[in-house]
Structure 1
Amino acid sequence: MVEQQIFTVQNRERIQAVESTFGRPGKMLLKPGRILVGEGYLSKLCRRGPKPKAFFLFNDILVYGRIMVPGRWNSRQKIIPLEDVQQEDLEDGVAMPNQWLIRTPRKSFYVSAASPDEKNAWMGRIEQYRSLLMQAKGLPADKAVENFAATWIPDMASAICMRCSKRFNVANRRHHCRRCGYIVCRACSKSRALIPNISSRPVRICRVCVSSVHEGKEQGKQRAQGKHWKKNSVEDTTTLHEYETSSDDESCEEGYQVSTKWFKSPEDEDYSPYCYIKPEHMNPPVSGL
């Protein structure tokens, strides 16, 4: 009983500390029954290459954000429900050793850890707590999630449009099709379509995906979500920026090598109560410093 009370207090302090690193723009993370399982830095493959991100695993969500001041200040908070997550183990890449793929309906991306053991720990705990969450909701642990978002191909992967083969330059910039994730030029991605699992507003799609969206429109009329497909019709428009959304921040971030911290609950066999929070980490620095 005493250990449980100690754990409850420490868990609350940990979650509040994570909240404070995101400041006011971040969403409140503290809620009854939520436990912070672990935190650490993972490399996330963004448009312009791998970038370190702060990741926080809870028993029901996965949170990550851009690192502003290591251990003290993060920004651009992203929250992913664990029930929407599907993981795929991958072989090591040249720029991304110890990598794996995280798929979700809204965003899919590659991440890598500092070592094989850390990678296995992250993948194992994500799957463990996802399974526990599904069981608590009375759902099968292996329930498949439909309509995963496409994984964006990094800018560095192609110097030409993957649809028309025109070379990219200052005047002919790279863009991404939100449906297939290909790197395309402006001329090949003039169309917009509503993809409900990605955005509530029309997003950029390439010319090859236009026909697929039209086919999906007809098939969707026979499905439960078919009523939404009237808004899913493709629209050609010259207003590019109104619906444009970025996959991630484009600013460069320095690399950080910090071991992941895993927190134990009283249910763990080797549980020993402790609290890692430092008082100076409770509040992030003000903007502009």
Structure 2
Amino acid sequence: MVDHLVGSDANLKRIQRIESAFGTSGIALVRKDRVLLGEGILTKICKKKPKARQFFLFSDILVYGNIVINNKKFNQQRIIPLEEIKLREIDDEGDIRNGWFICSQRKSFAVFASTPIEKQQWMDHINRAVTDHIREANVRVSATFAATMVPDSEAKLCMHCQKTQFTFVNRRHHCRKCGMVVCGNCSSQKAIIADQSDKPQRVCSSCAVTLKREGGGGLPREISANGSTANTPDSPVEEDSDDDTGYTGSGTARELDEKASFYERVPAAKRNSSEDEGQMI
């Protein structure tokens, strides 16, 4: 797809810049066979509210993180192997426009671009990168995908019992199996969900029954009053932990420089001139 960029100084400098921008909060990104295909800001739908996130599309992985200083510093690095990714369209409805789901084994979520053209560019390039990576690396494609978490704002009542009203005392929880927003009574168990984590995750009553019937990944266990899982030495992740906490940047996706940039579409002469100026393409 972009053989002319593999091992090039220009590509190496771009990846080193991103690696440096994540600092100690990220892992090493430089690899001799890895190519940076594009980058840009998308609005990611998180459990609490939509947030601007910086995305980087590489030839083998998709990386995103929190914006600390626009185009200069990021944290909370997240990496998704391309072979695990499947995209799904989100139909435009009212103010909800230009969105799609990024689904993977461990995490699935919705993102939104600022324009239909930008959305189509992102989806086309991610799909093309996934296809090329699977063909060239001969890797196994994911058959299962994590549920998309329903945003807190979409649920005034528990989506399981349809009775409990959420308040400061009655907190919202998310079932890690189906993604529904549920109350504490309807999500009093944790279970290991295959392909997501080797630690027990909070699940709703219905999914606990399903997992028990399937017999996979460990039987559901009750959650004690302090939030831990009874009769297990494991320390489960915080049930409502959100990988998008700690955002210290300012501005929305529309206020920041949100243009996606896809390098393989840019003629070599233009790429070189832009590199010298240090500008995004």
> Which residue number corresponds to residue 23 of structure 2?
23
| Percent identity over paired residues | 34
> Which residue number corresponds to residue 240 of structure 1?
227
User: Which residue of 195, 198, 217 corresponds with 2:196?
Assistant: 198
* 1:57-80 residue CA offsets vs partner (Å, 9 max, x unmatched): 001100000111111111100000
> Which residue number corresponds to residue 249 of structure 1?
244
SS in 2 for 1:24: helix
Q: Write the letter of the residue equivalent to 1:61.
A: I
CA distance 1:171–1:277, change in 2 (3 Å): farther
> Which residue number corresponds to residue 98 of structure 1?
98
Normalised to the residue count of structure 1, the TM-score between the two structures is: 0.83
Q: Is contact 1:44–1:112 with CA below 8 Å preserved after alignment?
A: yes
RMSD: 2.5
> Which residue number corresponds to residue 155 of structure 2?
158
**How far, CA to CA, are the matches of 2:190 and 2:88 in structure 1?**
30
User: Which residue of 271, 278, 283 corresponds with 2:268?
Assistant: 271
**How far, CA to CA, are the matches of 1:96 and 1:51 in structure 2?**
14
Q: Is contact 1:177–1:184 with CA below 8 Å preserved after alignment?
A: yes
CA distance 1:36–1:153, change in 2 (3 Å): same
**Unaligned stretches of 5+ in structure 1?**
221-228, 282-289
* 1:40-98 residue CA offsets vs partner (Å, 9 max, x unmatched): 00001001221110000001100000111111111100000011100011212445310
1:130 is the counterpart of 2:130:
yes
**How far, CA to CA, are the matches of 1:5 and 1:61 in structure 2?**
16
> Which residue number corresponds to residue 286 of structure 1?
none
Q: Is contact 1:105–1:148 with CA below 8 Å preserved after alignment?
A: yes
> Which residue number corresponds to residue 285 of structure 1?
none
* Deviation of the 1:145 alpha carbon: 2.4
Q: Is contact 2:5–2:35 with CA below 8 Å preserved after alignment?
A: no
**Unaligned stretches of 5+ in structure 2?**
229-234
User: Which residue of 145, 162, 174 corresponds with 1:148?
Assistant: 145
Q: Write the letter of the residue equivalent to 1:33.
A: D
Matches within 5 A, 1:1-289: 4=4, 8-138=8-138, 145-164=142-161, 165-217=163-215, 220=216, 229=217, 232-238=218-224, 239-240=226-227, 242-243=235-236, 244-245=238-239, 246-250=241-245, 254-257=251-254, 258=257, 259-264=259-264, 270-272=267-269, 273-274=271-272, 275-276=274-275
